[in-house]
Amino acid sequence: MITLGRTGYARPSSKASWTSRQEGRSMRTTRTPPLLAAVVAAAVTFTVTACSSVDTSTGFGLPQLQDVTGLDITTSALQGVLHVTDQGCFTLDVLAPIDQAADGLWIVWPDDAAQDDKTVNLPGDVELTEDSRISASGMILALNDLPQGSDKNSKIGSFGRLCGADTSDVVVLQDVADA
């Protein structure tokens, strides 16, 4: 039984105990000291306040590969529609060529692309947003085929997994244009 003392804090009565049926031992209940409770509450408030100012709508930023020459694949002309997921991931529904059609491929951008919230800016004042049609040369491959893609702790590996590239594929784009 728990009773309220004059201070308003709950305190266990002399009969406050319970027995674990699995372990067969008794344990006494204890109350959290008020100072410790205040410190924990302040720490939680600080943590929530510090994190609330971070905009997570655009994820890790724009994934880019500086050098794709080490990848043993051939680029082809691709056309598709850009999407931005709730996690801030840019994905492409590849429409052409028809033999490579796929939905929701995580995009790795060329190094001259820049991100502004949910917009990708390309040289020549080209802005790509949700539902933009894209023409590009690119290559479709598995996340593990990217440099450090198989490492769950690397930026590209963890970002790709957040964006679902471990269950679908990745499209590495070059020479991107608004279609």
Domain locations in the chain as residue ranges = 2-52, 76-178
Mean pLDDT, to the nearest integer, of 166-172?
92
Q: With residue 36 as reference, give the H or E element that holds it.
A: helix 34-52
pLDDT bin (cut points 50, 70, 90) of residue 29 is very low
Q: Going by CATH, does the domain composed of 76-178 fall within 1.10.357?
A: no
Please, what is the average pLDDT of the chain? 74
Tell me: pLDDT of 158 over 90.
Answer: yes
pLDDT bin (cut points 50, 70, 90) of residue 92 is very high
SS3 assignment, position 14: coil
pLDDT at residue number 21: 39
pLDDT at residue number 14: 46
Tell me: pLDDT of 131 over 80.
Answer: yes
Above pLDDT 90, what percent of the chain? 46
Confirm whether pTM is higher than 0.95. no
Tell me: pLDDT of 57 over 50.
Answer: no
Token couple for 81: 């529609």
Give the CA distances from residue 35 to residues 10, 29, 136, 150, in Å, rounded to whole numbers and listed in that order.
Answer: 15, 18, 61, 47
| Beta bridge partners of residue 120, listed in sequence order | 115, 128
